[in-house]
Amino acid sequence: MTNVEINPHWPRLQNELVGMRWLGILLTVVVAVLVIYKANFPTYSYRYRLQISLSVDEKLYTGSSVIEVVWKCGPHITGLGRCVPYLGGQAAVVDLGSRGAVVATLGTGENIIPVPDGAVDAVFICANAFGNRSIDEELPALPRLTGRRDLSPSNFPRLVWFSNPADMTSAQKITIENVANVIESTARFTEAFVEITSDPVVMNIATKLPWFPAFKLAQKGKGVLSMPGQFQLVYNMFVGESW
């Protein structure tokens, strides 16, 4: 009878093979779970630059900001919307020098719909310009947006003029129609557009509005809302909740 020599390492090799088999099964399960999760909890995001130019005494002033919109979705729940938006970035500030600053805010500062003067939230303003209504069936198209679109008077952000940017109490709500009456007779908006970008989000609002850090600290987590029909400053008009 021929003696069969058994490799002394065979038990260890068997254990390794079994371990690799289970690892393969585990990876398959993980991938399947991720696919199912993404199918039921999709996320749609895009980033855009908001830029606004204002002329005063024939001198041009421009401000811009990169804003990120993220829609997080889940299964339909009776009585509740399927998708919820989150904003990143900050308001665009147009520095007018001795005439203060105009801020195109992220939020409207109003707690009623429709907003009395038609100001549009940063969640919707870029999508609106591209003809996307940001409703469930149109959200998957948002990450595929490219290019630039001008803003129309009916699709414009909330505008707040600070006669003194260092003093939050100097804030005054303005519109593209009354800017000449409020700031200076020659003042007019010359350009406003949104453009899809991959540029990074920059957070430096405190260098433009030095009162903002203390203002945010005083309000954040306190559930501060503007009263219906009454305009007031709320910290998330200036920075996104996800930053």
User: In the structure, what pLDDT confidence band is assigned to residue 223 with cuts at 50, 70 and 90?
Assistant: low
pLDDT score at 75: 72
Across 76-89, b (16+ Cβ under 10 Å) vs e yields: eeeeeeebebbbbb
In 3D space, the residue among 130, 146, 31, 142 whose CA is nearest the CA of residue 83 turns out to be 142
147 Rama class: left (phi>0) / alpha (psi -120 to 50) / beta: left
Q: What is the pLDDT of residues 81-99, one digit of tens each?
A: 589 999 999 999 999 999 9
Nearest CA to 87 out of 176, 203, 168 is that of: 203
CA-based max dimension of the chain? 112
For the chain, give every domain's residue range: 41-237
Tell me the CA end-to-end span of the chain in Å, nearest whole number.
77
Distances (CA, A) of 84 to 115, 139, 147, 163, 180: 20, 11, 25, 35, 37
Q: Flag whether pLDDT at 34 surpasses 60.
A: no
pTM: 0.81
**Segment holding 217, helix H or strand E:** helix 212-219
Query: Is the pLDDT higher at 134 or at 12?
Result: 134
